[in-house]
């Protein structure tokens, strides 16, 4: 589980008012990992044929990511992510999802592994009533992803 973010109060030199400063924790999510945050965080990962699923509760402002590599890993990875986001204060019936990755690798022994993993993720999410708000998948290039857990937004760059 993600470490708590740091909150502090800065006193302005010539003013008696205070400004609350928030620092977002940034964590890298590697293949096979699940991360969720109950305070604003940026979770980053890079996907190619692997898949990242982001979940968030828009009303509670909590979210997380799972990063998996095989279609058969989708069910367990996403289930663990759902549980992690709920432990952080999210509501299972209000979760929204985004799916990233699943590139085709024509040089691999199984070039369609990525698309199969994306399909497995989408099937699991829809079967469990989770709205898939965004899909950025396929192609033949990797993606770098920065997911803002409290906003449910992601910055994605093709690399």
- Predicted confidence (pLDDT) per residue in 101-137, tens digit: 999 988 877 889 999 999 999 999 999 999 999 999 9
- Predicted confidence (pLDDT) per residue in 68-90, tens digit: 999 999 999 999 999 999 999 99
Other C-beta atoms closer than 10 Å to the C-beta of 70 total 16
Any idea what the CATH number is for the domain that residue 56 is in? Answer: 3.30.1330.200
Provide the domain count of the chain: 1
Give the tokens for residue 5: 């973010």
Classify residue 10: in a domain, yes or no. no
CA separation for the pair 104, 154 (Å, rounded): 22
Classify residue 7: in a domain, yes or no. no
Nearest Cα residue to 101 out of 56, 132, 142, 72? 142
Strands (E) across the chain are located at 7-11, 18-22, 25-28, 34-37, 41-47, 51-57, 62-68, 96-101, 131-137, 143-148, 153-158
What pTM was estimated for this model as a whole?
A: 0.84
Classify residue 6: in a domain, yes or no. no
Strand-pair partners of 20 = 9
């Amino acid at each position: 589980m993600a470490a708590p973010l740091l909150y502090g109060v800065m006193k302005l030199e010539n003013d008696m008012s205070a400004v609350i400063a928030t620092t977002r924790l940034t964590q890298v999510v590697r293949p096979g990992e699940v991360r969720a945050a109950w305070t604003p965080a940026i979770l980053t990962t890079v996907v190619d044929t692997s898949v990242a699923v982001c979940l968030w509760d828009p009303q509670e402002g909590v979210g997380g990511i799972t990063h998996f590599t095989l279609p058969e890993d989708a069910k367990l990875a996403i289930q663990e992510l759902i549980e992690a986001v709920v432990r952080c204060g999210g509501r299972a019936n209000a979760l929204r999802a985004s799916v990233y990755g699943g590139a085709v690798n024509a040089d691999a022994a199984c070039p369609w592994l990525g698309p199969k993993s994306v399909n497995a993720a989408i099937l699991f999410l829809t079967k469990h009533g989770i709205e898939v708000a965004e899909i950025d998948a396929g192609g033949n290039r990797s993606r770098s992803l920065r997911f803002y857990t409290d906003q449910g937004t992601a910055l994605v760059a093709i690399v």
